[in-house]
Amino acid sequence: MSVQAILNYQEIDTKLYKLERELAGSEERKEYVKVKKFLEAAPEKLDSLEVKATALKTEAAEISKKYAQTEETLKDFEHLDELVTGGADIAFYKKKAQSIVEQLKKLKADLATLTANIKSVDAEYQKLKKQVIAMQKQYAEASEKYKELKASKDGEKKAIEAELQKIAKEVSPDLLTLYLTKRKEKIFPVVGELTSNRCPYCSMEPPIAARNKLTGGGTIECDNCHRIICSK
């Protein structure tokens, strides 16, 4: 089988490649992919916000408990006059009471910050939930539009695939398998003729030993761009 068969195959495949690129670059697909990615990422984001809110609420509850316990210690100073009368050092008790008051102020400030953070996280969670609901509707619409676009190209696609199936019979099975593998790897064009002893796509010059394999209809792979090189 001559290398002309794989070149002919690629010529027809170019029409399919252009059709695929047209669909891939369409606004319908871009919108569909954008909404799909948002909905795929949303559950993880919602879970993350829930975990964050739970942690903040737990921390707030602990601070509230600590605040109540600290506030309780102030009761020890209700009978300060009696302690002073009994000869206690008033300076010591004043200093200790002031320290407790400062602790309470700090705990109160920390609690206010946590409360604000909880409200912020909750607002973000509610906003994201509304976005998810809106995006679910948008996804249905975008999916339908993209489906309609693909359906409009289906006849053209099937006609090209029928041409490819017909000419594939003329291509060496091993060469066709290699071609299709590279096609899946997003390499296109896949095959080209050696030009001035160089790869026609990246201009890399294959070693002489490799070029000798092209004699008699053989093919080699470019070490640089990994495309198939042939020579008529």
Domains, the chain = 17-169 (1.10.287.1490), 172-232 (no CATH)
Angle, alpha carbons 205-210-211 (nearest 5°)? 65
pLDDT (tens digit per residue) in 119-147: 999 999 999 999 999 999 999 999 999 99
Going by C-alpha positions, the residue among 111, 23, 217, 123 that lies closest to residue 131 is 123
pTM of the predicted model as reported, rounded to 2 decimal places: 0.74
Q: Distance between CA atoms of 177 and 185, rounded to whole angstroms?
A: 13
- Give the per-residue pLDDT at 86: 53
Going by C-alpha positions, the residue among 222, 36, 24, 217 that lies closest to residue 136 is 36
User: Which residues are bridge partners to 117 per DSSP?
Assistant: none
- Mapped onto helix, strand or coil, the DSSP state of residue 171 is coil
- Give the per-residue pLDDT at 95: 79
- Which DSSP symbol is given to 25? T
Please state, rounded to an integer, the average pLDDT across all residues of the chain. 91
Buried b (16+ CB within 10 A) or exposed e, 44-82: eeeeebeebbeebeeebeebeeebeeeeeeeeeeeeeee
Pairwise pLDDT comparison (41 vs 101), residue with the higher score: 41
